[in-house]
Structure 1
Amino acid sequence: MTIPTADRRLRVLHVEDSELDHQLILAQLRRAGLELDVERVDSLAEVAQALQQPWDAIVSDYNLPGFSGLVVLDLLKESRKLIPFILVSGEIGEDTAVAAMRTGASDYLLKNNLARLAPALLHAIEANEAQLARVEADRELHKSKQRLHELAGHLQTSVEMERAAIAREIHDDVGGSLTALKFDLAWIARHAQDEGVRQRVQSALETVSNAIEASQRIMHNLRPAILEQGLVAAVQWMAGRFERRTGILTSVRTSQEQIQLPAGVPLVAYRTAQEALTNVSKHANASKVSIELSMDSGVLTLEVSDNGSGIAPGDLAKARSFGIRGLHERAATVGGWVDLSSSARGTSLILSVPLEAPRAQQLDDEANSEAEHDPSAWGGT
């Protein structure tokens, strides 16, 4: 619980060369009922040393031997401490007062109007404490967002690793068993004498072949092995499959056939394109999609645009609009970002990933070992 400013003992630094003026100000503040611990200094060296201590406020004369109150204010700003600063002077011009307020002074007043000092001091301290509370709240909010961001990145990595494990099991166990079963059925078909048996075996072979194709499709969705051929080849392959499946004309443009990318980035770009194409097929009512991959000034750019009906602003603000949010979080795991623009003439999604600058966040501590945890690599055959 915060103690009200007027009910607690305040620590005040008074920059004043006149002992008489110091006593006058001290008496005025105590007459207002304030409990004070006041220290008087009158040189820049003493001011610099005093600023190493905590203060509730600083009250400074303007005219001092060899320097002014504005110099004291500059020292306070250099210290980067948020301490209320009140400028007091026997005579101070309007221009000087305005300059002091612009520089960061909390208030200013004349020595012939010291009755206003106590209210001004209390107001300055309360305003400063409110500012400190906002700064602390912003700091905590930033830390909370950072923790959520790190959690999202960790979850993305965990999902990809789990997908890789499932894909390996399908490849090694299910795929291997189906292939062996197909060979056995083929052997039976070659050696069976009964026509009815051969027909049943042929039907079983078709079923097994369909199951093998389905398992391969599931493996590709879980873990795109095509990424071993590079991001460009993977996106071209994805675009071809998308066009065949949906009938939507899909083109891929790229500035180069091979793009060397750090670990993790190819999978982020691949998943971004995959999510964008899924959204096009579900919502866009488009007849044409264009995918562009480019590398310029150390930044990888992936743009997926369509000529569909666009996205309503309200759809992006939906509480359960997790697809776009997931793209933002996925991009952030490699230090990138996603820009989305939409109109009645279509939608454009752009992924940008700086490759030369340090990453904003690593995928996860486990991702440091590329051979074991790189989400872009196919794990085992």
Structure 2
Amino acid sequence: MRVLHLEDSPQDHLLVKREFQKSGEPLEILCVENLPAFEQALTATRFDVVLADYRLPGFTALDAWQVMQRLSIRLPFVLLSGAIGETAAVQAIQAGMSDYLPKEDLAKLRHVTQRAIETHRIVLAREHADAELLQSQRQLASFAEQLQLTIEQERAAIAREIHDDIGGSLAAIRFDLAWISRHTLDTTMLTHVDAATEMLQHAVQASQRIMMSLRPAILDQGLAAAMQWLGDSFSRRTGIATQIKAQLQTEQLPKAIQLAAYRTAQEALTNASKHAQCTQVKIDLVGDEHFLTLEIADNGQGMTETTAPQGSGFGLNGLKERAKTVGGWLDVSSHKGKGTSITLSIPLNGQVSQPPDDTRTVAP
């Protein structure tokens, strides 16, 4: 054990040294009497613990503690002093010192010192683990952002292929059917042509719907128009009454934010149709120059702790990560039998606001 002892009494230093030597363990202990020597020792040698008297000529242990803070040296710091008063002891502990031991209790010195060292090691290990966790979270967020970008690029590419290849083929088939219809009088043939034309129309509508889902070109007309189209098409497709309210002071929103809001509404509506067993959905979009809020609420059965992960956990987690990529956050509130509300909040001032600590509430 390497100990730095800040003490102006040679007799007290000798008592401390003898107390450590009782254990028989290897010991290196250096005694210094003033702040310059204390600072020089800290920068020249690596110590395991600092022991310090409280009152020394011209300064106190708090001044020595400030020296360590200035040097960014973190060591367990045990105050070993005579009666200094409760106030001074409390101030020392509040400043960050590890422990306080009166000089008349030297029998406890080894125990207190070892405890301070172990506690310090635990604190450092926890901080290291927290730093690694934070780095991992940042990497995951970066991966999620890159994954979302890749997905959108793939969706756009597939949509273009559907438009160019499948769309062109369907258009050619339409012309051929029209030509057949004009050049035949066979009623059976015309019946088949009409049936084929009807099926072709369904295929065209399906391809358009798929393209719109993959690459929402409707966003070119603004986020409010996109929400209106999304809600109307959802209502027609599912039969669920959908109420859309959009109040935007500006449509000049970054493409990334528009896409995040659109995908959030799209996923929320998909969850509502698959899991909510609802009869009504409300889409509320509000935005000014500082903030954008999108809420999708249904009157369905709600989620519980047991059903939420299986029903929509992965999708919601994906939406939360998508929200983070644009500096926002996602809040999910659900009450059994009273529906579910998904709220996306995005600051528009270029600063990432801090979301509430609890970004998901599932009530029984």
**TM-score scaled to structure 2, two decimals?**
0.88
TM superposition shift of 1:184: 2.1
Tell me which amino acid in the other structure corresponds to 1:87: L
**2:32 match:** 41
Question: Aligned equivalents of 2:158 and 2:322: distance in 1?
Answer: 21
Tell me which amino acid in the other structure corresponds to 1:352: S
Aligned CA distance change for structure 1 residues 104 and 239 (closer, same or farther; 3 Å): same
Pick 1 or 2: higher relative contact order, CA cutoff 8 A, min separation 6. 1
- The answer (yes or no) to whether the contact 2:249–2:289 under 8 Å persists in 1 is no
SS at match of 1:264: helix
**1:159 match:** 151
Tell me which amino acid in the other structure corresponds to 2:230: M
1:65 paired to 2:57? yes
- The answer (yes or no) to whether the contact 2:281–2:296 under 8 Å persists in 1 is yes
Aligned CA distance change for structure 1 residues 81 and 225 (closer, same or farther; 3 Å): same
TM superposition shift of 1:233: 0.6
Unaligned runs of 5+ in 2: 354-364
Q: State which drifts further: 196-205 or 45-54.
A: 45-54
Question: Aligned equivalents of 2:340 and 2:103: distance in 1?
Answer: 66
Deviation sequence 1:111-161 (CA, Å, 0-9, x none): 233222122111111111122112112222222232223222222222221
Tell me which amino acid in the other structure corresponds to 2:239: G
- The answer (yes or no) to whether the contact 2:249–2:287 under 8 Å persists in 1 is no
Aligned CA distance change for structure 1 residues 50 and 293 (closer, same or farther; 3 Å): farther
**1:314 match:** 306
Which residue, 3, 19, 44 being the options, matches 1:12?
A: 3
**1:174 match:** 166
**2:240 match:** 248
* Equivalent residue runs for 1:41-190 within 5 Å: 41-52=32-43, 54-77=46-69, 79-190=71-182
- The answer (yes or no) to whether the contact 1:315–1:321 under 8 Å persists in 2 is no
SS at match of 1:278: helix
TM superposition shift of 1:103: 2.7
RMSD of Structure 2 on Structure 1 (CA):
2.3
SS at match of 2:199: helix
**2:21 match:** 30
Unaligned runs of 5+ in 1: 1-9, 361-381
Deviation sequence 1:54-84 (CA, Å, 0-9, x none): 4311111111111111222344345554311
1:356 paired to 2:344? no
Aligned CA distance change for structure 1 residues 135 and 265 (closer, same or farther; 3 Å): same
- The answer (yes or no) to whether the contact 2:99–2:112 under 8 Å persists in 1 is yes
Tell me which amino acid in the other structure corresponds to 1:200: H
Which residue, 186, 196, 205 being the options, matches 1:204?
A: 196
Question: Aligned equivalents of 1:84 and 1:124: distance in 2?
Answer: 6
Q: State which drifts further: 110-119 or 311-320.
A: 311-320
Question: Aligned equivalents of 2:10 and 2:223: distance in 1?
Answer: 76
**TM-score scaled to structure 1, two decimals?**
0.85
Tell me which amino acid in the other structure corresponds to 2:30: E
TM superposition shift of 1:356: 1.6
How many residues were matched structurally? 351
- The answer (yes or no) to whether the contact 1:262–1:355 under 8 Å persists in 2 is no
Aligned CA distance change for structure 1 residues 188 and 256 (closer, same or farther; 3 Å): same
SS at match of 1:349: strand
Which residue, 287, 295, 303 being the options, matches 2:287?
A: 295
